[in-house]
Structure 1
Amino acid sequence: MNSRERILGRVRRALADVPRDDAPYEQAVSRDYVREHGQRSVAETVELLAENLADYRAIVHRTDTGGLAGLIAGLLEKRGAASVLVPPGLDAEWLAATGVTRVADRAESTPAELDRVDSVVTACAVAIAETGTIVLDGSPDQGRRRITLVPDHHICVVRVPGQVVSSVPQGLERLDPARPLTWISGPSATSDIELDRVEGVHGPRTLEVVLVSQGRIGST
């Protein structure tokens, strides 16, 4: 018997005399909580996202679809990046304007190999305005979780307004809980007991978020 079997055995014994819930899980907890704080237009929701991203020390950029490739190329050049990690499903047009060496997201890549890559570019699954949070779900245009945790520089593209929601409940409705979800609120950071902030401890030191407008953002 291994450790896993021993732990599961203890859990089963502890639950042996616990009656099953009468109500199914999805009905057992009240879901009548507030879904959104206040009433905002689409444009105001996008502005709130940008504000909260910046508050978490992410660097926010804005462009349209036509200017995206040039902007990403400029960000990589300004960073001095010689290599960039590329998820398998990333739109090739996003990197069409840069000559930076592209490194494929491979299952066999070691942490040391990933650490030698300067930057990573991904899309996202959803962006939550009220918390300034970007969520990745491991889709082909986002790649595996570790490619956004090891490199020191992450460029994340958010399609506006289609991928932007106001609140966490609204974001959860768009996500599959069975997928590997990564919730990102600013660059990786931690603080010691004296509240001295250190960035880049368990993720990228620099997070740049590109809000790509894909159409007119209305006021209602």
Structure 2
Amino acid sequence: MSSRDLILGRVRRALADVRRDDTGPVPAARGEDARYEQAVPRTYLREHGARDVAETVDLLAENLADYRAIVHRTDTAGLPGVIAGLLAAHGSSSVLVPPALPEGWLSATEVARVADRADSTPHELDEVDSVVTACALAIAETGTIVLDGSPDQGRRRITLVPDHHVCVVRVPDQVVPSVPLALERLDPTRPLTWISGPSATSDIELDRVEGVHGPRTLEVVLVSGDGGE
């Protein structure tokens, strides 16, 4: 028996005498689980304030910067040049590339590309200077980037080990105002990684140390247009 099975078994035993909520009408197609949705009033705000698209993107940029991410803006045509400039400024000689990263994004750089491989060791990943990925979406109110392991983002570990992460956000399609609206668009069965700024921690004296359990430098490129090839 695995640890997972053991824990779930204890949860089931603890809930064995808990009666299912049988109040209120339930659509037949949704079954008993819908009663739980009805049992808790969800009257919280789904987003704070009314903003148009431009204001939402501006709020995202502001909150990203507040978390010490470095924010850049460009359009689709300018994206390869921006990425090439960021890799050059960082002094990168190698860059990790997810399997479905659009080819055109790296067309302006000669930096050596390293494929996202299942058998890469932590030591091998640590030797790579940078990683470039797309994202699942970005949340304006919290300045959060969400990755879901899609082919244009790669495995979670490739965004945790290299010290420099360049993340491309397609504007406005991938920008949502709030966490509740983000959850509606995310698949909970995927390996979600929520990133608010570069990796950082602090001790009891509040001395900030960056790069402890993720990239020391996070650069977010907000690209208008389709952001494709």
Q: Which TM bucket (shorter chain)?
A: over 0.9
Alignment partner, residue 79 of structure 1:
90
Q: What letter matches 1:96 in structure 2? A: S
- 1:66 aligns to what SS in structure 2? coil
Q: Sort the Cα spacing of 1:208 and 1:10 in 2 relative to 1 into closer, same or farther, 3 A.
A: same
**How many residues are matched?**
215
CA distance in 1, matches of 2:78, 2:113: 20
The match for 2:197 among 186, 190, 204 is 186
Deviation at 1:17, TM superposition (A): 1.9
CA distance in 1, matches of 2:178, 2:16: 39
Q: Sort the Cα spacing of 1:19 and 1:119 in 2 relative to 1 into closer, same or farther, 3 A.
A: same
Deviation at 1:214, TM superposition (A): 1.0
Deviation at 1:180, TM superposition (A): 0.6
- 2:138 aligns to what SS in structure 1? strand
The match for 1:139 among 136, 150, 157 is 150
Q: What letter matches 1:76 in structure 2? A: L
Alignment partner, residue 182 of structure 2:
171
Alignment partner, residue 60 of structure 2:
49
- 1:84 aligns to what SS in structure 2? strand
Q: What letter matches 1:30 in structure 2? A: P
Alignment partner, residue 153 of structure 1:
164
Alignment partner, residue 218 of structure 1:
none
Alignment partner, residue 10 of structure 2:
10
Q: Sort the Cα spacing of 1:30 and 1:104 in 2 relative to 1 into closer, same or farther, 3 A.
A: same
Please give the TM-score of this superposition, normalised by the length of structure 1: 0.93
CA distance in 2, matches of 1:58, 1:12: 42
Structure 2 portions without partners, runs of 5+: 23-33
Mean alpha-carbon deviation: is it higher for 182-191 or for 17-26? 17-26
Deviation at 1:34, TM superposition (A): 0.7
CA distance in 1, matches of 2:113, 2:137: 25
